[in-house]
Amino acid sequence: MKIAVLGTGGVGATIGSKLVELGHQVKMGSRSATHEKGLAWTKAAGPNASLGTFEDAASFGELAFNCTSGLGSVSALEAAVAGLSGKVVIDVANPLDFSKGFPPTLFTGNTDSLGEQAQRALPNSKVVKALNHVTASLMTDAKRVAGGDHDALICGNDAGAKAEVTKILKEWFGWQSVIDLGDIGQARGTESYLALWVRLYGALGTADFNLKIMR
């Protein structure tokens, strides 16, 4: 499958590399088609990895991951809007503001969310919020924590897109449990959880954890 990975940071590189490993063709999207970190990633990831602008990657992919930093997400998606039309966009970004150090604050939440902003920026795409509540290495390898015995939380407006993302999480990334919270507005919940995540990270001394909802 041809897949766009928007963003050249650690999350984009981790997801992009996993997708290449799984046999997919991945084009990483960046503000610049000659972005240094992006080029370094393509070199490391091999012949099925390439780099382009956000627009290039969006047009290339049959599916896209939004792995841009939260503060840059909306402008990146606006640049990619034409290429992403009609496609499923898995939004793993978080509205984190590190400008005052650690722990970061959230620059949106409570009455809006980055997931909703992404869906508004891409009115003809099917945005599914997913995986934003775990560290990058766990996103694509759920089994690295507790043998995979924990929950993925997703939300989005399109039932078919959520079914597709659930399949991807289970079949490609080893997730065993995917909880659908409802429409994209529920991203307010999964993004606000980051305020707890960063504190659990501080208290536990590791990013290798996730929540399991015990009933």
What is the nearest approach in angstroms of a copy of itself to the Cβ of residue 68? 21
What is the nearest approach in angstroms of a copy of itself to the Cβ of residue 134? 10
Q: Which of residues 78-107 bind a copy of itself (CB under 8 A)?
A: 103, 105-106
Q: Which of 86, 99, 101, 110 is the binder for a copy of itself (CB under 8 A)?
A: 110
Of residues 104, 124, 41, 22, the one with CA closest to residue 6:
41
C-alpha triplet 201, 74, 127: angle, nearest 5° = 80
Report how many residues bind a copy of itself under the rule CB under 8 A: 39
Task: Give the HSE-up count for residue 72: Cα atoms under 13 Å, Cβ half-sphere.
Answer: 15
- Contact call for residue 144 and a copy of itself (CB under 8 A): no
Q: Which of 149, 159, 163, 171 is the binder for a copy of itself (CB under 8 A)?
A: 149
| Cα–Cα distance, 28 to 153 (Å, whole number) | 25
Q: Which of 146, 159, 163, 171 is the binder for a copy of itself (CB under 8 A)?
A: 146
CA distances (Å), origin 102, targets 142, 147, 198, 201: 26, 30, 8, 11
**Residue 77, helix vs strand vs coil:** helix
Of residues 111, 54, 59, the one with CA closest to residue 84:
59
Q: Which of residues 185-214 bind a copy of itself (CB under 8 A)?
A: 186, 188-190, 192-193, 195-200, 202-204, 206, 208-214
Interaction site with a copy of itself (CB under 8 A):
103, 105-106, 109-111, 145-146, 149-150, 153, 179-182, 186, 188-190, 192-193, 195-200, 202-204, 206, 208-215
